Chain A
């Protein structure tokens, strides 16, 4: 099926297999390997991307369903010169990254939260990140990184 989709700000056209998952399409066709396929069943959140500004599991969406939509992956958060976004920078500054496998999904889930609710409480941050599993660094530093980007806590 022919689709047109805006990926990280660029509109492009593709012919996709109707059965292909969005996560596989992003990784294999577009080489956007920041999208991780951890569980392929919506448990781990490592494949989280934004679709029309909302955080979704790319493993649970078919690529053809992206037709006409705007997708942002972790690769699309940094500036054109590669400068990290404030949220990405906050993850580093708060020690919220260890092995890094969960990090892209964690950042994109937090990005989705902050676009919808720029001033979330700690409880809202934890609720919004509950679909993302981290196996090494722990969640305290991740919550602290996201909190630092919440409007009432500091500049975005």
Chain B
């Protein structure tokens, strides 16, 4: 079907039509959903093969949750993720990251699958997905589905293990081990439509009655080619009581982790200081306790 020398476009209505198309199409396949990465210069749509618009393919945009997992279709838009009550309830950090991603216009078109496939070091949803041990279902050109853990799919800056013609179809987030609370904070050059200079995702159990943390998991974005787990900083929270000593230990661990993550980078002196403010924002957001700087005492 089709000549490999020209570019043809298709808009499969559903997954069955998509599977039929990829089985019969000749030449390279290029998927486009929001187009917010594909159409930004110097990238350009291909000049031969098939350009396949999956933005309205039924079965690729959905949010569903059961007791074990939260499943999100790859073409679910960033705007839909930001306001989805199921995601807000089960994984607030992802909804918060979505709300801070791009502009309203971009959020209305861009998709979670595209954010993952782009594998930008500053990709806003990636740290949250890594923190949550997200898994990905990929539809191959041969029609077979394969599953990837986060680190097996996102390999480096703009680098994934997707083969030509592969399509991320769905993202799955395990819920049974999900911590009760999560939060995302981001620092950019302005508040909106800004590329992350630094961002943090924290998942933790926190009891407002006792003021104690349970387990905690922490990931930083935009401090390396892929999101970085900050286990030592998370450990300063785990089991601890919210107070000056805990806050100071947490912020010191954040400072050390960012300092160690980007040796030799011009941004290092800036980011290791900036992470202190971001750390305050993160703790205030996840605990709901305001003005933590007042109880932190003098900082390290």
Interface residues of A in 1-57 (CB under 8 A from B): 1, 18-19, 21, 40-43, 45, 48, 51, 54-57
Scoring B44, B79, B105, B193 by chain A CB atoms within 10 A of each residue's CB, the highest score goes to B105
Scoring B9, B51, B192 by chain A CB atoms within 10 A of each residue's CB, the highest score goes to B9
Tell me the complex Cα distance, A130–B192, Å.
6
CB–CB B192/A127 < 8 A: yes
Which residues of B sit under 8 angstroms from A128, Cβ to Cβ? 104
Q: A71 interface residue, CB < 8 Å from B?
A: no
Which residues of B sit under 8 angstroms from A51, Cβ to Cβ? 108
For chain B, the count of residues having a C-beta within 8 Å of the partner chain is 30
Binds B, one of A62-70, A72-80, A81-89, A142-150: A62-70
CB–CB B45/A62 < 8 A: yes
User: Assuming the A-B contacts A19-B47, A48-B105, A131-B193, are A62 and B32 also in contact, with contact meaning beta carbons closer than 8 angstroms in the complex?
Assistant: yes
Q: A59 interface residue, CB < 8 Å from B?
A: yes
Tell me the complex Cα distance, A18–B8, Å.
7
User: Assuming the A-B contacts A55-B108, A59-B39, are A64 and B103 also in contact, with contact meaning beta carbons closer than 8 angstroms in the complex?
Assistant: no
Which residues of B sit under 8 angstroms from A132, Cβ to Cβ? 103
Nearest-CB distance from A63 to chain B (Å)?
10
Tell me the complex Cα distance, A45–B45, Å.
21
Q: B209 interface residue, CB < 8 Å from A?
A: no
Which residues of B sit under 8 angstroms from A131, Cβ to Cβ? 102-106, 192-193
Nearest-CB distance from B9 to chain A (Å)?
4
Which residues of B sit under 8 angstroms from A127, Cβ to Cβ? 104, 192
CB–CB A65/B102 < 8 A: no
Q: A104 interface residue, CB < 8 Å from B?
A: no
Tell me the complex Cα distance, A59–B56, Å.
19
Which residues of A sit under 8 angstroms from B55, Cβ to Cβ? 65
Interface membership of chain A positions 108-124, coded 1 if the CB is closer than 8 angstroms to chain B and 0 otherwise: 01001100000000000
Tell me the complex Cα distance, A131–B106, Å.
8
Tell me the complex Cα distance, A60–B45, Å.
11
CB–CB A56/B108 < 8 A: yes
Tell me the complex Cα distance, A113–B39, Å.
24
Nearest-CB distance from A117 to chain B (Å)?
10
Nearest 8 A-B pairs (CB), nearest first?
Answer: A131-B103, A130-B192, A18-B9, A54-B108, A1-B9, A41-B40, A57-B105, A64-B9
19 A-B residue pairings within 8 Å (CB atoms)? A18-B7, A18-B8, A18-B45, A19-B44, A19-B45, A42-B103, A45-B105, A55-B108, A56-B108, A61-B39, A62-B35, A62-B39, A62-B45, A65-B11, A127-B104, A127-B192, A130-B103, A130-B191, A131-B105
Which positions in A face B, CB cutoff 8 Å? 1, 18-19, 21, 40-43, 45, 48, 51, 54-57, 59-62, 64-65, 67-68, 109, 112-113, 126-132
Which positions in B face A, CB cutoff 8 Å? 7-9, 11, 32, 34-36, 39-41, 44-45, 47, 51, 53, 55-56, 79, 102-106, 108-109, 190-193
